[in-house]
A and B are shown apart, each in its own frame.
Chain A
Amino acid sequence: MTAATTPYRTSQRSVSDSFARLVHAEWTKFRTLRGWVLAVIAAVVLIDVFGLLVVNSGGIQCSQGSGAACLPSVPTGPGGEAVNDSFYFVRQPLPGAGSLTVQVTSLTGMISAQTGGFIGQHGPAGLTTGLVPWAKAGIIIAASTRQGSAYAAMMVTGSHGVRMQYDYTSDIAGLPGAVSAAAPAWLRLVRSGDTITGYDSASGSRWTQIGVAHLPGLTGTVQAGLFAASPLEFTPNFPSYGESGGSLTGSLATGVFDHVRLQGGVTGGWTGQNIGRGGAGYDGPLIGYRQAGGKLTVTGSGDIGPVVSGSANTSYDTVTIADHLLGVFIGLVILVVIAAMFITVEYRRGLIRTTLAASPRRGRLLAAKAVIVGLVTFAAGSVAAAIAVIVGKVVSRGGGAYVLPVGALTEVRVILGVGALLAVTAVLALSIGTVLRRSVVTVAAVIIALVLPYILGVAGILPAAAAQWVLRITPAAAFAIEQSVPQYHQVIGQYGPPDYFPLAPWAGFAVLCGYAAASLALAAWLLRRRDV
């Protein structure tokens, strides 16, 4: 077809066939339809209006007033993440290298007898015996007594055995099982410069290294000692995947330590301090420490660990930047309609005959359309998401909710991720539109593929396990790109949309890309194979 042409015609064809020309032609088709341009602008506006309207528009009430007056001062860890750092600390200064060894013979606890009890109250009433799963007592070496300072700790926990934890987010498992006088656990931390090594032992003679923590903030004199903490217990309102809210109950934990030996210390005497006053938990007379017969008994409340979204381990309201992106669903519906029409209108009006006559290489035509529809939706989505995230943070804070801090790179990933999510969805709609040639079925199919699984997954209709599978294998997995904070197995929370997804951000996005690539390939094949 191209071989039997004169030089003159060849030169002309090479100009009209060039991909840039094709893209330009498609761009002209797109931009000269005023309705489409207005619809894209409407999508951006609606993404932002809905995203910002739904965030804390009610305003938070507290004893200091309402709205921004209720914003708590939340410590941040060495990694910049929001942390809980409240525990009872029995400490001595440690000026240089040294080690701390203890035997833990018991870990017991108390929980408020009433669900939702002693949050913000500090009386001794209404306690019942019980140990929350991540109650913890053990030894810790911290840069200072300031909340959010660098640390490494070895501990026994309520139901997760011995753990080594450091700098709030890291957690390594040690010996399993609960401690008792008959089966005590030995813990040891060794400091050398800014490196702390954790060991555990069942016998006190044979030691197992659990982990090594390099803590850049740990210079000069640090604080070494014993600690106890017990996090708030979270009871969800109803079991589902996704945030449904819940109630928090305060708790406390008591650890009994024997054979306490600090090498490298200078004072030889212990000082007790209630760091963070138990956080939102218990701050009554049971908190403190006792020294008798060579044993130290430490009782504390609170937690040392990262804050998670959904107010599952804080008494204040937490949101993530993803909470401002609810309007993306509305934008998605509008952009899917436009992307589908970009090809189905050509079929309906018969323009496709002219288009294909002008550019007989049909695969390249589809590619040009995909480039235009992808770029337009990527730009619109990114702009809308940038406004929603940046303005949303201000609106949320004004309403009194604490926005979990994330790095600049994460924020950029979320913003461009929304653009990419909408762009790939638009390409999916374009491809399915090319395959079906009917706009109604195309629009319905894409919306069902992206939005219905999300509803089924998070509305409490499906049980949590099935909901997670739905959000792994359907195109709705792509909403994972909106995640800004990680899940932590060592913190009990309500890990579900819109803040948490079963797949990592890029893995979820890749699922949608897979569907889009497959449908684009099918569309290109069908477009080439069949008659107009």
Chain B
Amino acid sequence: MNLTTTTGSTLPRSAGPAAAAQATGLPDALRAEWTKLRTLPGTGWILATLGALTIAVGAGTDSATRCATAVSCTLDTTKVSLTGIEAGQAVVAVLAVLIITGEYSTGMIAATFTAMPRRWVVLAAKAAVLTGMVLAASTVAVAGSLTAGRIILAANGLIPAHGFALVSVSHGPTVRAAVGSVLYLALVGLFSLGVATIVRDSAAATGAVLGLLYVAPIVALFLGSNPVWQHRLERYSPVNAGLAIQNTIGLQHQPIGPWGGIGVLAVWASAALLIAGLQLRLRDA
């Protein structure tokens, strides 16, 4: 299907080799990747799952959260509402892994690279299309989570009268957490795409990505006997650092600041994509 799209759009100009090379620019690659992803039967389901799972886990956490006053327990209401991101990131990873490994497992990748010999353009197009889809779906997921948080947490008595901030878009740090969470999922998608391009096998790529995303926080959690490494993991592991963007209170006590944390994740994603791009250039498809 990718071949049809590409040749269809370039047919009038594909007279010579020079014209063919010109025809495989980024806009064509973007259209090709968009068509591929859009027409897969699973994509819609995955994006719907992203929204539903994120909002469901967030709402479940909201309804389990109870606290008499802010003195007896410190609760970041915005962060609690956005707990679902912990689950949603796995769905983003699945989508990202499928985009690239689906081509490898079906052999489609050979056709793709034949049509678009500049491989980094293919990777960039895949990254752009993935980012667009994830941004759109996670905006819905984050908005839904915050709405659920505002309603459910307030119903549980977590209200300003008891010392808790209402989840509100007029509150600067909450906006930062909301925008940051959308960015976070997009970066998780790019990171996963990079890792999956390097690994190529779908099951192994999923294991590698989810292992990095979920096991590092567990190790960090129980590394109390080694505070130096615990601190390093909390600052520099992709999930621990990236989710720092959700903090709206007690920022001075966190191992890493909100923008610094999302920056660390951005470095992880860029490094993964960079290595993936190099690998694509250097090795056989």
A interface residues, Cβ below 8 angstroms from B:
50, 54-58, 238-239, 242-245, 317, 319, 323, 326, 329-330, 333-334, 336-337, 340-341, 344, 348, 399, 401, 439-444, 447-448, 451-452, 454-456, 458-459, 461-463, 465-466, 498
Contact = CB atoms under 8 A, between A and B. Distances in A.
B219 interface: yes
Contact of A441 (B94, B222, B226): B94
Given A444-B93, A451-B218, A461-B83, A54 B223 contact: yes
B222 A444 contact: no
Secondary structure of the A contact surface, majority rule: helix
A326 B86 contact: no
Given A58-B227, A448-B87, A341 B214 contact: no
B211 A333 contact: yes
A462 B64 contact: yes
Given A399-B225, A447-B211, A455-B221, 17 more contacts: A54-B223, A58-B229, A239-B73, A319-B225, A329-B214, A329-B219, A333-B211, A337-B206, A401-B225, A439-B203, A439-B206, A447-B90, A447-B214, A451-B210, A456-B86, A459-B217, A466-B61
Interface residues of B, number: 42
Nearest to A50: B219
B222 A323 contact: yes
B225 A455 contact: no
Nearest to A345: B203
B65 interface: yes
B206 A58 contact: no
Contacts of B222: 54, 243, 323, 326, 498
B44 interface: no
A326 to B, nearest CB: 6
B203 A56 contact: no
A459 B210 CA distance: 17
A323 B219 CA distance: 11
A276 to B, nearest CB: 26
Contact of A440 (B94, B211, B217, B226): B94
Contact of A451 (B105, B215, B223): B215
B225 A317 contact: yes
Given A239-B73, A330-B211, A463-B66, A56 B225 contact: yes
B132 interface: no
Interface string B181-210: 000000000000000000000111111001
A451 B225 contact: no
Contacts of B73: 239
29 contacts: A57-B226, A58-B226, A58-B229, A244-B224, A317-B225, A326-B218, A326-B219, A329-B218, A333-B207, A333-B214, A333-B215, A334-B207, A337-B204, A337-B206, A337-B207, A341-B203, A399-B225, A439-B202, A439-B206, A440-B97, A442-B203, A443-B210, A448-B90, A451-B210, A456-B57, A456-B86, A461-B86, A463-B65, A463-B67
Nearest to B223: A54
B161 interface: no
Interface string B48-73: 00000000010001001111000001
A444 B210 contact: yes
Given A58-B225, A333-B210, A440 B98 contact: yes
B101 interface: yes
Contacts of B86: 452, 455-456, 461
